[in-house]
Structure 1
């Protein structure tokens, strides 16, 4: 099942990047597609991440600085980084204050590509 493959990709990202504590893939409307996030209410995170990504895209368009790369929320205890996965989905990554940002940047792009391909397969069926 495609959802299981996406969960494996998410678990792999968490394992490859120091400090990542959880991940969620959601549709752009905020509905959870898959999750590897044991400590968070997935549906709430997905909805909030979708809202944040939408706001980021609108802001990027308004200031004409090119397409949005990511939205990052820096909190006292860690980070939430939200990436677009194509036009219809997103990846939210949660991490502690020691999360390895450079490795996340590299690994998240690979994960986004693979998850995007899996979602395309789902749409084609």
Structure 2
């Protein structure tokens, strides 16, 4: 797995979607893998994003709505969106209040697929 390739994917996503400020990849248990981040403590966000994803995965399973795709946290000044990369990893995206959520959702699907390929993660689809 190339860290440079992972970081380039993160930078590309930030450049493609209006309002994206920070991105990171973490393992499902919260360990930071790679980051394109300037305004956040990436290690802390990786751990919190993993916890958020784990809780949402469990909730989705309990209410029988299928495999989890993402968790969106919308706050007063922005968003944190966490995308599952298979069962083993995640992509976390921080954006300001002007984040183009629709554009992010469209672009993130391809980004998750490329990240999974770079990391040799099975997406289960």
Could you tell me the TM-score, scaled by structure 1's length? 0.94
Q: Does 1:118 align with 2:108?
A: no
Q: What's the Cα RMSD here?
A: 1.1
Partner of 2:53: 53
Q: Distance in 2 between matches of 1:61 and 1:54?
A: 11
What displacement does 1:102 show?
1.0
Q: Structure 2 matches for 1:7-26, cutoff 5 A?
A: 7-26=7-26
The residue that corresponds to 1:103 in the other structure is 103
Higher percent of residues as helix: 1
Which residue of the partner structure matches residue 88 of structure 1? Answer: 88
The offset of 1:109, in angstroms, is 0.6
Counterpart residue number, 2:78: 78
- Work out the CA distance in 2 between the residues paired with 1:72 and 1:103: 14
Structure 1: any 5+ residue segments left out of the alignment? none
- Per-residue deviation, residues 8-37 of structure 1 (Å, max 9, x unmatched): 000000000000001000011100100001
Structure 1 equivalent of residue 40 of structure 2: 40
Consecutive unaligned residues of structure 2, counting only runs of 5 or more, are: none
